[in-house]
Amino acid sequence: MPELHPQMAEILDLIARSAAGLPKVYEMTPAEARQAQARDFTPFWNADAPSVKHIFDRTIPGPLGPIPIRVYDPGTPPDAPGIVFIHGGGWVVGNLESHDGVCRRLANHSGLRLVSVDYRLAPEHKFPRPLEDCVGAIDWLAAHGGELGIDGRRLTLAGDSAGGNLSLASAMVLRDRDGPRLKGVALIYGAFGLDLDTPSYRAYGSTDYYFLSHQEMDWFWNHYLRDAADRRDPLAVPLEGRLDGLPPLLVTGAEFDPLLDDSRLLVEQLKALGGPHEWMFWPGVTHACINMTRMLDPADGFLKDVALWLKQRAES
């Protein structure tokens, strides 16, 4: 039988106690969900964030208008490879602050400059607008990364959850229009399919206890997608699309995550195609575990493994 890591169980109990009597995410409006994250999630989980030598914010031009970014420079010499990071949050919540601690660790562990992208959120900006921001940011960095000390010819990409979805979709867009060639893409427990009745959804998504439920995912998907046609669009639902011709992929999955089977199905398809990929399975933990380094000792090790993979790919 799968067993939760003791610290993970402690975290889940803490979350359950703290959330007792409060509305669930899927009972909130998007604005309320963002306020709850900014109040209850971001300050607590970023409290142990390590220092990085240089951090600064700026905006870059994008297809829909300016895109805010945050640059993390651990002291890397100019013209080195770079990492583009796309945060999770169900396409509805999340921002530069929510994943600040994650980005600091990825930059420090990799020794590379990292650019976090603050893409537009649904439902105000439904599919494909968040994706257009992400692709636009990659395009700009490929052409102008030198302004940030990054070699735009050696970019890697990483994203968690909805950010994993957007990362994989971005790689598909770039492949289809022969855009900038990414050196590698790390997909951290991504949302790749619309089937909310997989074994992992049944095991861990039928309750609110394991951090993420199928009701939340249904709420997120409904806010992100415009109509029935989007549910068949491979750029919205990557498991519906072609997976050949992509850069090397790192696919990670958390054991107690309803989205685990999304990653497993992705790996099965990549194996059948012979597509370059690696699989990392993280036992004993739930969705969002990489944000929980404050209380979850293995989480920093997970981030280090991802960072070193990105560094290896970027320098290959």
What is the pLDDT averaged over residues 204-222?
97
- The per-residue pLDDT for range 95-135, each reduced to its tens digit, is 999 999 999 999 999 999 999 999 999 999 999 999 999 99
All structural domains of the chain with their residue ranges: 6-314
Residues 6+ apart with CB under 8 A from 167: 86, 134, 157, 158, 159, 185, 186, 187, 190
Does the structure show a pLDDT above 80 at 183? yes
Active site residue 262: no
**Residue 257 is a catalytic residue:** yes
**Of 161, 167, 170, 200, which residue is the catalytic one?**
161
Percent of the chain exceeding pLDDT 90 equals 97
- Which has the closest alpha carbon to 83: 189, 180, 158, 162? 158
Burial of 238 (0-12, 13-18, 19+ CB in 10 A): buried
Residue 179 banded pLDDT, cuts 50, 70, 90 = confident
Whether the per-residue pLDDT at 26 is higher than 90: the answer is yes
**Rounded mean pLDDT of 287-303?**
98
Query: What confidence tens digit (pLDDT) does each residue in 226-242 have?
Result: 999 999 999 999 999 99
Q: What is the pLDDT of residue 44?
A: 95
Considering 87, 214, 223, 287, which one is annotated as catalytic? Answer: 287
**What's the mean pLDDT when you consider all of the chain?**
97
Q: 97 — phi, psi (to 5°)?
A: -75, -40
Does 98 qualify as catalytic in the annotation?
no
Confidence class for position 1, pLDDT limits 50, 70, 90: confident
What CATH number does the domain located at 6-314 have?
3.40.50.1820
Among the options 73, 133, 160, 257, which is catalytic?
A: 257
